[in-house]
Amino acid sequence: MPPSRSSSPTRAHPLERHQRQRERGHPTLSVLAGPPGAALAFWRSWLDTHARPLALVSEGAPSVGVRQWLTALDRIHPLATLAADFLGAAAGMRPGELPTRLEARTEHERDVILQALWPTLPPGDAATACQLLLRSAQVVHKSGGPVDALLAEWPTEPLRALGAMHALVPQSQAPALLLSGAGDARWLADAARFADRAFNTVPSLVMALQALPAEVDAYLGLPGGSRAQTYVREGLLPLEAPSAEQLQRRLESLGLPKAIQTLDGPLARLAEEGVPDEVLVHYGEAARYLEAASHGSENVDRARSSAERFLYELLEAMPATRGLFELNARAGFRFGGREIEVDFLSRRLRVAIEVDGYHHFRDEVAYRRDRRKDLTLQRHGYWVVRILANDVVARLEEIRDTLREVVSLRREGLEGSPSHREDGDAGA
């Protein structure tokens, strides 16, 4: 029986079975056949029960997953600290002892300590990664950071960098990778081949792949019977899509207003794409508050805040935008005598999103101030996107498509340079 999208404990059982296979030494790719939002929510619900971090790839070549995996690992366990602990363990030290000894040392003192310990490292890529990460900060900085330094060490074989760092971290704490596709058969084929190569390097790697059922069927129907196809076939987990009747009952159970329960509206589209129930609830609240504000029976600022909260939850539920934006974040530079604050800020992509109530355009002073704020953000390299609060509900699909396009363009512009892009066939 395909897994249900309910929140019951049985929901995670198929993924537990996959994990037991990995622990027995059998490489396993979890193939989540369903909408992107449903796949992300399903995968996250299982990861959360194990406190395992997520590395997500939603655009670009699947091999970008190596960078995302290393970046996710660095966020929870600084790579240099992992390297120091690995070296310390090889030398018979207690966990945390060598990182502590290296703190506040001069470069010469660090070098003396490390030179004495290098011979204790077992040969292999893990030793290479340790030595690279524990060199002086200036050496690593030249390549842009520890992740870039590792990828530069193996420029045509990025999976070796992943394998090296996977050996340095306890398996239960290693990030889990989710490849969420571009919606075509070619991407799925590339992703399956990438998984095959990744398992050659790290058989126990925790990895899932999201694709629509029709794409999976088309891929499995291709001639050849490759090992990558076998991984997809053996790891297939169909995600249930609700019928129109089930969807109607679901919306009613959430207590959403009858006025927005039309199955042909954007709310129905959200549910069919698999966004979690909490996103639907926030949509209902935003619609309710915005409708009341238009009749003067609700505070305008409260209505705008409800629209912001819904939009944030939606961005977090979509693989293409998850983890990119902070809500009501300070940008780190000043405007009008105080630090500038933005409704949605992506430091990584240099994108600022502002949600405006209608009063922003009826008050000349506020309008001029917003234009000066935009200019300040642009001077610091940010793209500025302004959205009407009412449009978050009334023109949801247009807003969502616009934000996806902006994110895609910024990723291509900022992360598409050779130093940030691994070839789709690298490491084959």
How does pLDDT run across 128-137, given as a tens digit for each residue? Answer: 999 999 986 5
Domains of the chain: 9-74+170-238 (3.40.50), 78-168 (no CATH), 244-311 (no CATH), 326-415 (3.40.960.10)
What mean pLDDT, rounded, does the chain reach?
83
**Residues 259, 263, 268, CA angle at the centre, nearest 5°?**
95
Does the structure show a pLDDT above 60 at 11? no
pLDDT in tens, 57-87: 876 676 788 999 999 999 999 999 999 999 9
| Strand pairing class (54-57; 383-388) | unpaired
CB 374 within 8 A of CB 384: yes
The per-residue pLDDT for 93 is: 94
Task: For residues 347 and 345, give the distance between their C-alpha atoms in angstroms, rounded to a whole number.
Answer: 6
Residue 12's pLDDT band (cuts 50, 70, 90) = very low
Q: In what order do the strands lie in the sheet with 338-346?
A: 326-335, 338-346, 351-356, 383-388
Task: For residues 96 and 411, give the distance between their C-alpha atoms in angstroms, rounded to a whole number.
Answer: 37
